[in-house]
């Protein structure tokens, strides 16, 4: 029995079995602590990595700011030195131009250098810075200005002192970043110069910044005026070793989580399977205990490994007494022990699969014998290995007794049917017997008269005595047929010819047919094969079919009262057909014609055709009817030929 066939009503009463709570508390707490530790470690590693990156960024930004300041201060010093030398006229104008170009080319964003001998006081953009430069004696940077093309520039004024004027240098912020920011710095960071409104005035960047949190800005002074130098780190790949460590830890955590989930699932399934197994075992036990069929299991050596209560009740021994018992078994009847042992050894040798159910006689503990029907099947374990044999044992004692009683009743019923048939034919048979008896009486009277008168010679007595003998044999034949038909005897199937049975049946009922003015014709197939049959029983079937056909023609005109009986071979079978010319059988009656106690005759018992079919099936044959061409009905009796039946059995 599979779980599919397990009764749903029985399964729904089963409640799932849960594991004790503490089974899962410890691993869950441990898993939560482990995950918390991993999360803390990942956060710590990330924080440390962020702090290291930020410290490196600040260090690089400060270095960049110092480098730009150094270049601006160095350029201011060189510009001032160039202006003083020009004021002292240490070289001519051409040399001044050449040195100015050299300074611009190496000036880290310096676009031009020029000398201002005087500044218009009305020029607010230059006058105030010039005065400041003279007063402090240092270079002064002017506010940045944006050109139409978006370029942002700023100027620096370097005082020459002693009314010598000023030197003005002009810078481009974008050129300054391009020429001053080294390649390695640009590979790591995006550099921008912004004002106090966060507007970007100049920048140097390969890609846009991907992480705004990792950035740093510092005052860009010089040139000052609210400018700031802002540096943002590019989004970079996490360092390999920490990443591998994090991935490993997360993988271990996920593996542990999956392992715990799989373990929980497996344990739940196992508990559910164990519970289902207990439920099904209880169900099977209840079902097995309710069986009236005995079950017996044996191993490959013949030891009993399992019996159910029904088997114990059959034999009278308890399961504990029968367990592990070896042959010969105590429930084997001594008179059949040798035969049962041979069958037992054959089953253990593997012949059970080739056998049908076996009928044996067992013995109860009190010595009572009983008949059993045993079916054997291989016992296979969960791995598919043959480990023994399972037997189902059915007590057939009562069924055999009922079968024997049924056979006796059937025989009695058949005998009663024959008596009824003879009773119905009694007047006809009496008339049939009266003819030979009257002839015998006439011939004997004639002989007596010749003897009394003394006129007869010995030769004159030969003819009347011969006719008396013929009529006596005729009467004896009629009486013998009646006697054989009605005498009670056990059924005996012998080889006989269906043609001979037809002749006997026709001879027995021919007188009744003449009385009813019915003409019976027969067509017998030559060389018809013999059948294995009880002659009297088959003759009873034919008589019943013939009489039914005669009754069916009771309302027909005299010229239509014809009954045709044909025999022929049909492959390995032989058959006889009884055809009448009556009105036929209506469809509503045809469906229940062979049912017991169904009859269309006012004084009928409804057992004739039912008994006929039982007799035919007992002979492994068939009995059916068909509508005849031109009206009437044909009843067909088919029996297997004797040689074919012997071969099949």
- Return phi, psi of residue 500, to 5°: -65, -40
| pLDDT band at residue 606 under the 50/70/90 scheme | very low
Q: Which residues of 506-529 are buried (b: 16+ CB within 10 A; e: fewer)?
A: bebbebbbeeeebebeeebeeebb
The pair of three-digit structure tokens given for residue 623, joined into one six-digit string:
């009995």
Query: Left if phi > 0, otherwise alpha if psi is -120 to 50, otherwise beta: which for 551?
Result: alpha
- Return phi, psi of residue 423, to 5°: -65, -40
- Domain enclosing residue 406, as ranges: 397-490
Identify the pLDDT of residue 411.
Answer: 66
Cα 520 versus chain centre, distance: 66
Q: Looking at the 3D structure of the chain, how many domains does it have?
A: 4
Q: Nearest Cα to 464, choosing from 480, 447, 450? A: 447
My answer on whether 640 and 522 are in the same domain is: yes
| Domain assignment of residue 184, yes or no | yes
My answer on whether 328 and 473 are in the same domain is: no
pTM of the predicted model, to two decimals? 0.38
Torsion of CA 251, 252, 256, 261, to 10 degrees: 10
DSSP bridge partners of 271: none
Q: Nearest Cα to 157, choosing from 192, 179, 128? A: 128
Q: Nearest Cα to 372, choosing from 328, 285, 310, 324? A: 310
State which of 347, 363, 395 marks the end of a domain. Answer: 395
| Digit-coded pLDDT (tens) for 607-626 | 467 778 888 888 889 999 99
Cα 192 versus chain centre, distance: 71
Query: Tokens 């944006």 belong to which residue?
Result: 146
My answer on whether 390 and 481 are in the same domain is: no
In what helix (H) or strand (E) does residue 578 lie, and over which residues does it extend? strand 573-579
| Digit-coded pLDDT (tens) for 326-340 | 888 888 888 888 888
State which of 233, 250, 265 marks the end of a domain. Answer: 233
| Domain assignment of residue 408, yes or no | yes
My answer on whether 371 and 483 are in the same domain is: no
My answer on whether 453 and 469 are in the same domain is: yes
> What sign does the CA torsion over 530, 533, 539, 541 have?
negative
My answer on whether 486 and 499 are in the same domain is: no
Is the confidence at residue 578, as pLDDT, over 90? yes
Map residue 606 onto helix, strand or coil.
Answer: coil
Instruction: Report the CATH number that the domain containing residue 537 is assigned in CATH.
Output: 3.30.565.10
Identify the pLDDT of residue 635.
Answer: 93
In what helix (H) or strand (E) does residue 25 lie, and over which residues does it extend? helix 22-87
Q: Nearest Cα to 28, choosing from 272, 250, 263? A: 263
**8 A C-beta contact, residue 508 and residue 486:** no
My answer on whether 183 and 55 are in the same domain is: yes
DSSP readout, 507-572?
HHHHHHHHHTT-EEEEEPPTTPPPEEE-HHHHHHHHHHHHHHHHHHTTTS-GGG-EEEEEEEEETT
My answer on whether 497 and 486 are in the same domain is: no
Is the confidence at residue 124, as pLDDT, over 50? yes
Alpha helices in 327-396 (DSSP H): 337-346
Instruction: Report the CATH number that the domain containing residue 435 is assigned in CATH.
Output: 1.10.287
| Domain assignment of residue 29, yes or no | no
DSSP bridge partners of 393: 294, 374
pLDDT: which is higher, 218 or 95: 218
Q: Nearest Cα to 415, choosing from 548, 536, 498? A: 536
Q: Which long-range contacts (CB under 8 A, 24 or more apart) does 560-565 make?
A: 561/516, 561/517, 561/518, 561/519, 562/518, 562/519, 562/520, 562/521, 563/513, 563/518, 563/519, 563/520, 563/521, 564/521, 564/522, 564/523, 565/502, 565/506, 565/520, 565/521, 565/522, 565/523
- Return phi, psi of residue 302, to 5°: 95, 0
Instruction: Report the CATH number that the domain containing residue 357 is assigned in CATH.
Output: 3.30.450.20
| Domain assignment of residue 215, yes or no | yes
DSSP readout, 382-434?
TTS-EEEEEEEEEE-HHHHHHHHHHHHHHHHHHHHHHHHHHHHTHHHHHHHHH
Query: Tokens 């035969």 belong to which residue?
Result: 339
| Domain assignment of residue 4, yes or no | no
Is the confidence at residue 638, as pLDDT, over 90? yes
Map residue 235 onto helix, strand or coil.
Answer: coil
> What sign does the CA torsion over 525, 526, 529, 532 have?
positive
| Digit-coded pLDDT (tens) for 404-450 | 777 776 667 666 665 665 565 565 556 556 656 766 776 677 677 77
| Domain assignment of residue 12, yes or no | no
In what helix (H) or strand (E) does residue 154 lie, and over which residues does it extend? strand 152-159
Cα 452 versus chain centre, distance: 105
My answer on whether 416 and 458 are in the same domain is: yes
Compute the chain's Rg from CA coordinates. 64
CA distance 44 to 38: 10
State which of 395, 415, 444 marks the end of a domain. Answer: 395
Mean residue pLDDT of the chain comes to: 78
Is the confidence at residue 568, as pLDDT, over 90? yes
My answer on whether 304 and 362 are in the same domain is: yes
My answer on whether 127 and 222 are in the same domain is: yes
Work out the percent of the chain whose per-residue pLDDT is above 70.
80
| Domain assignment of residue 269, yes or no | no
In what helix (H) or strand (E) does residue 370 lie, and over which residues does it extend? strand 369-380
CA distance 578 to 601: 19
Is the confidence at residue 577, as pLDDT, over 90? yes
Range name among 203-212, 285-294, 312-321, 558-567 with the lowest pLDDT average: 203-212
Q: Which residues of 536-545 are buried (b: 16+ CB within 10 A; e: fewer)?
A: bbbbbbbbbb
Range name among 20-34, 133-147, 481-495, 564-578 with the lowest pLDDT average: 481-495
My answer on whether 479 and 512 are in the same domain is: no
Angle at 557 (CA atoms; ends 552, 558), nearest 5 degrees: 100
622 burial via Cβ count (<10 Å: 0-12, 13-18, 19+): middle
What's 596's DSSP letter?
A: T
**8 A C-beta contact, residue 190 and residue 234:** yes
| Digit-coded pLDDT (tens) for 509-528 | 887 788 888 899 999 998 89
Is the confidence at residue 564, as pLDDT, over 90? yes
CA distance 286 to 543: 56
Which residues lie closer than 8 Å to 267 by C-beta, 6 or more apart?
19, 23
Work out the percent of the chain whose per-residue pLDDT is above 90.
6
CA distance 627 to 631: 7
| Domain assignment of residue 577, yes or no | yes
């Amino acid at each position: 029995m599979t779980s599919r066939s397990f009764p749903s009503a029985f399964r729904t009463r089963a409640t799932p079995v849960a594991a004790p709570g503490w089974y899962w508390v410890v691993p869950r707490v441990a898993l939560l602590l482990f995950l918390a530790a991993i999360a803390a470690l990942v956060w710590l590693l990330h924080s440390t990595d962020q702090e290291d990156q930020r410290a490196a960024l600040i260090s690089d930004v400060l270095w960049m700011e110092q480098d730009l300041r150094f270049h601006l201060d160095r350029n201011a010093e060189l510009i001032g030195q160039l202006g003083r030398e020009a004021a002292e006229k240490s070289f001519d104008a051409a040399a001044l131009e050449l040195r100015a170009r050299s300074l611009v080319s190496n000036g880290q964003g310096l676009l031009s250098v020029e000398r201002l001998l005087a500044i218009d006081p009305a020029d607010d953009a230059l006058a105030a810075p010039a005065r400041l430069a003279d007063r402090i004696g240092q270079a002064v940077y002017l506010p940045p200005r944006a050109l139409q093309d978006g370029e942002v520039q700023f100027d620096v004024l370097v005082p020459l002192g002693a009314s010598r004027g000023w030197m003005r240098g002009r810078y481009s912020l974008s050129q300054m970043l391009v020429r001053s920011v080294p390649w390695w710095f640009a590979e790591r960071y995006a550099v921008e110069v912004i004002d106090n409104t966060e507007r970007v005035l100049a920048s140097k960047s390969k890609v846009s910044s991907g992480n705004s949190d990792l950035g740093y800005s510092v005052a860009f002074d010089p040139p000052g005026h609210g400018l700031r130098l802002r540096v943002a780190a590019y989004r970079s790949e996490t360092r390999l070793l920490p990443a591998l460590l994090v991935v490993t830890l997360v993988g271990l955590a996920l593996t542990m989580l999956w392992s715990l989930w799989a373990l929980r699932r497996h344990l739940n399934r196992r508990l559910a399977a164990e519970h289902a197994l207990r439920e099904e075992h209880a169900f099977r036990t209840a079902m097995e205990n309710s069986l009236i069929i005995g079950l017996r299991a044996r191993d490959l050596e013949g030891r009993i490994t399992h019996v159910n209560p029904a088997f114990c009740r059959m034999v009278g021994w308890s399961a504990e007494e029968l367990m592990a018992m070896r042959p010969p078994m105590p429930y084997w009847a001594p008179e059949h022990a040798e035969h049962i042992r041979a069958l037992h050894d054959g089953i253990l040798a593997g012949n059970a699969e080739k056998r049908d159910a076996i009928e044996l006689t067992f013995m109860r503990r009190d010595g009572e014998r009983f008949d059993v029907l045993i079916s054997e099947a291989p016992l296979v374990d969960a791995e598919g290995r043959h480990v023994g044999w399972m037997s189902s044992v059915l007590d057939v004692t009562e069924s055999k007794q009922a079968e024997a009683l049924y056979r006796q009743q059937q025989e009695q019923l058949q005998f009663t049917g024959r008596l009824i048939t003879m009773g119905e034919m009694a007047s006809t048979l009496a008339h049939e017997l009266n003819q030979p008896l009257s002839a015998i009486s006439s011939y004997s009277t004639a002989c007596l008269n010749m003897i009394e008168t003394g006129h007869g010679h010995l030769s004159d007595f030969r003819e009347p005595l011969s006719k008396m003998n013929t009529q006596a044999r005729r009467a004896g034949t009629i009486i013998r047929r009646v006697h054989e038909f009605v005498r009670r005897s056990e059924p005996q199937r012998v080889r006989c010819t269906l043609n001979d049975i037809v002749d006997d049946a026709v001879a027995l009922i021919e007188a009744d047919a003449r009385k009813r003015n019915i003409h019976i014709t027969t067509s017998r197939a030559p060389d018809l094969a013999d059948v294995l049959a009880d002659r009297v029983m088959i003759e009873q079937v034919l008589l019943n079919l013939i009489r039914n056909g005669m009754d069916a023609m009771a309302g027909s005109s005299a010229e239509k009262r014809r009954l045709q009986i044909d025999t022929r071979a049909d492959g390995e079978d032989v058959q006889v057909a009884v055809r009448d010319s009556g009105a036929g059988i209506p469809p509503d009656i045809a469906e229940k014609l062979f049912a017991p106690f169904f009859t269309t005759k006012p004084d009928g018992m409804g057992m004739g055709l039912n008994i006929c079919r039982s007799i035919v099936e007992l002979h492994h044959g068939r009995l059916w009817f068909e509508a005849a061409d031109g009206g009437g009905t044909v009843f067909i009796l088919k029996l297997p030929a004797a040689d074919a039946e012997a071969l099949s059995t």
